[in-house]
Amino acid sequence: MFQAVFPGCCRALLIVLLPLGATAAVAQDFPITIDHAFGHTVIGQRPERVATVAWANHEVPLALGVVPVGFAAAGFGDEDGDGLLPWVAARLDDLGADTPPLFDEGDGIDFEAVAATQPDVILAAYSGLSRSDYDTLSMIAPVVAYPASPWSTDWRQMIRLNAQGMGMAAQAETLIADLEARIAATAAAHPELSGKTAMFITHLDSTDLSVIRFYSANDTRVQFFRDLGLGMPQSVTGATLPGQFSGEVSAELIDQFDDVDIFVSYGSPELRDRLIADPLVARMPAVANGALVMLDNDAVGTGANPTPLSIPWVLDDYADRLAKAAQAAE
């Protein structure tokens, strides 16, 4: 049985990517109302105990100097099996904090584990919450849900909405500006990306390349291409349905992707070889030119889905790989 708990006051908070000890002077008034896909959430007082569910939402409070009372264990890219991505572990170390309870979301949200942390607010601005998930979580504490559709909240929105739920809207803008400056500097250092288009393919089955599944223009990985100066091919935007973050086409229709310069996907060098050798997929110019970026289950592969802490961690390496592919597309 769950009980809603909405008390709290907040201590002085830090901002990541600025010197530790830097604080923001502007306070956010309460109560606040946050609109989202399921209606709106009212948070009466400044939360003290912050929990998060789903992928990467915990990075927002961590980036702003707040250690959540619990968050989801990493289910992808966790090479040492401790439930933490490397940039999350590093940030906890920076803050001198122990790892809080990690929620196992392999079979969905662990509501009992979330309730056990007694949160004042639950952050889930980037998530795939169902209505049922939202209603159950709302019995525990106010929930910050996604604004429009599942898994389509970009990194800026994720920061703004989650920070707003903590009463840290002003600090969020400082963090966003810092990240945007880093991205802009990296994009400027890779002018070969400008004017090129990129497509992000989902995980491919090396034994069956008859269907090409790709992330749509609604997906955060694809949106991140724009930050780096890459364009979005019409073949992808035209195949994007409202509210959907992925699509698929038969490999027999691969010619419709002639406007794609760079092919990005998850997979090994062996999969790359299979793509180049496949008689249908190899008709795609990006594949024929060798303009492929294959992301393995490593930091860059995980960080290609941009989040507040992963962006500075993988940005230069990711841009280097994209730039190498852009040169091959010439």
Given a cut of 90, whether residue 113 has pLDDT beyond it is yes
What pLDDT sits at residue 240? 67
Which pLDDT tens digit goes with each residue over 137-146? 999 999 999 9
Which pLDDT tens digit goes with each residue over 266-318? 988 888 999 999 999 999 999 999 999 999 878 899 999 999 999 999 999 99
Mean pLDDT of 102-130: 97
* DSSP-derived 3-state class of residue 30: coil
62 vs 5, higher pLDDT: 62
Given a cut of 80, whether residue 27 has pLDDT beyond it is no
Is-contact 280 209, C-beta < 8 A?
yes
Binned at pLDDT 50, 70 and 90, residue 1 comes out as very low
CATH topology identical between 32-185 and 189-328: yes
Whole-model pTM? 0.88
Both ends of the chain: CA-CA distance in Å?
61
Residues 6+ apart with CB under 8 A from 320: 190
Domain boundaries, the chain: 32-185, 189-328
Sign of the Cα torsion 225, 226, 228, 232 reads: positive
CATH of segment(s) 189-328? 3.40.50.1980
What pLDDT sits at residue 173? 98
Cα gap 293→230, rounded to integer Å: 14
Binned at pLDDT 50, 70 and 90, residue 330 comes out as confident
CATH of segment(s) 32-185? 3.40.50.1980
Low-confidence winner among 50-64, 142-156, 205-219, 307-321 (lowest mean pLDDT): 205-219
Sign of the Cα torsion 20, 101, 300, 176 reads: negative
Is-contact 157 125, C-beta < 8 A?
yes
Q: Classify burial at 161, counting beta carbons within 10 Å of its beta carbon; exposed 0-12, middle 13-18, buried 19 or more.
A: buried
Please choose, from the candidates 142, 148, 179, 152, the residue with its C-alpha nearest in 3D space to the C-alpha of residue 60: 179
